[in-house]
């Protein structure tokens, strides 16, 4: 995944709901969210296809195996507070202060020696990289097969 | 390594600004408002993340959205799940993003 190829600290500043591609967020090192932010994996099951693009790997890794699978399977809506309790969000920040807080953290990191901040990101994401490298290809193949089946049934129904 | 000016305005759905100290802010958007994700933005973000990662002057990255959501809207435009070739393309794209 090339978000992991961004080899400098990555801060996600969530200005509201994340109903798709939440893997972008879970590959960040620091996650700030407004109180209105909620998480859900919506479009995969809405379209009837396997959520195999990495959310299947990352949610169980971040919030725990049982919680993560339940989140995906039930299209659970996770509010910012619960997401913070479960370890997917670091701080809840009012919308008007969100970017200022992100910049404050970012400037602190930018003051580190350049190789140090860069290599710390790499060191911190080794395990995530292994998980993604190991599972994303297979998950996406399963998603593709399920998409072909959905397309076939839609075509059959005219 | 490409200097910031060569890609700053290359992405229709990402507004890029960088501070003196190298903090890059990436605000995803559609026409300045909330992002509507589609097959084209999917492709675009692969290139976007690649460019950001290739520029050693980016010291820290802030990823944010626009309007009232980070990402909550999707449009089927530009996705092709209806042919093996289309699926292969989407899969390859997702692997790289």
Tens-place pLDDT, residues B14-67? 999 999 999 999 999 999 999 999 989 999 999 999 999 999 999 999 999 999
Domain assignment present for residue A82? The answer is: yes
Q: Return left, alpha or beta for B75; rule: phi > 0 is left, psi -120 to 50 is alpha, else beta.
A: beta
CA angle A63, A6, B68 (to 5 degrees): 60
pTM score, two decimals? 0.94
Domain count, chain B: 1
CA distance A75 to A27: 20
Cβ atoms of residues A8 and A118 within 8 Å: yes
Name the minimum distance, in Å, from the CA of A151 to any CA of chain B. 6
Which chain A residues are Cβ-neighbours of B94 within 8 angstroms?
A: 53-54, 136, 140, 143
CA distance A107 to A114: 12
The CATH number of whichever domain residue A23 belongs to comes to 3.90.226.10
Name the phi and psi angles at A123, rounded to 5. Answer: -65, -40
CB contact under 8 A, B61 and A2: no
Tens-place pLDDT, residues A137-148? 999 999 999 999
Q: How many CA atoms lie within 13 A of B48 on its CB side?
A: 24
| Predicted confidence band of residue A1 (pLDDT cuts 50, 70, 90) | low
Which of 5-44 (A) contact B at CB < 8 A? 5-21, 24-25, 28, 36-37, 42-43
CB contact under 8 A, B49 and A2: yes
Name the minimum distance, in Å, from the CA of A71 to any CA of chain B. 17
Helix, strand or coil, per DSSP, at residue A128: helix
Catalytic residue, candidates A7, A23, A61, A134:
A23
Res. A73: pLDDT tops 80:
yes
ipTM of predicted assembly, 2 dp: 0.96
Provide the pLDDT for residue B57: 97
Domain assignment present for residue A48? The answer is: yes
Range of the domain at B26: 4-96
Domain count, chain A: 1
A61 is catalytic: no
Range of the domain at A120: 11-98+110-153
Cβ atoms of residues B37 and B71 within 8 Å: yes
Domain assignment present for residue A28? The answer is: yes
The CATH number of whichever domain residue B79 belongs to comes to 3.90.226.10
CA distance A3 to B52: 9
CA distance A131 to A110: 28
Bigger pLDDT: B74 or A119?
A119
Tens-place pLDDT, residues A113-127? 999 999 999 999 999
């Amino acid at each position: 995944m090339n978000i992991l190829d961004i080899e400098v600290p990555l801060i996600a500043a969530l200005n509201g709901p994340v109903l798709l591609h939440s893997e972008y967020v879970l590959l960040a090192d620091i996650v700030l969210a407004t109180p209105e932010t909620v998480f859900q994996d919506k479009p995969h099951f809405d379209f009837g296809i396997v959520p195999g693009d990495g959310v299947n790997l990352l949610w169980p890794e971040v919030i725990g195996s049982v919680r993560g699978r339940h989140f995906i399977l039930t299209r659970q809506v996770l509010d910012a507070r619960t997401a913070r309790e479960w370890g997917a969000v670091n701080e809840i920040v009012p919308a008007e202060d969100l970017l200022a807080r992100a910049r404050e953290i970012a400037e602190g990191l930018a003051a580190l020696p350049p190789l140090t901040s860069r290599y710390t990101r790499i060191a911190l994401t080794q395990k995530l990289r292994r998980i993604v490298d190991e599972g994303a290809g297979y998950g996406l193949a399963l998603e593709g097969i399920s998409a072909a089946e959905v397309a076939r049934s839609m075509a059959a129904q005219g | 390594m490409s200097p910031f000016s060569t890609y700053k305005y290359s992405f229709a759905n990402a507004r890029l600004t960088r501070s003196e100290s190298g903090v890059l802010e990436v605000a995803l958007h559609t026409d300045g408002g909330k992002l509507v994700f589609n097959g084209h933005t999917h492709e675009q973000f692969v290139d976007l993340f690649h460019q950001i990662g290739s520029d050693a002057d980016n010291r820290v990255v802030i990823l944010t959205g626009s309007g009232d959501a980070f990402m909550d809207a999707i449009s089927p435009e530009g996705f092709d799940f209806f042919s093996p070739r289309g699926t292969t393309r989407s899969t390859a794209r997702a692997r790289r993003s």
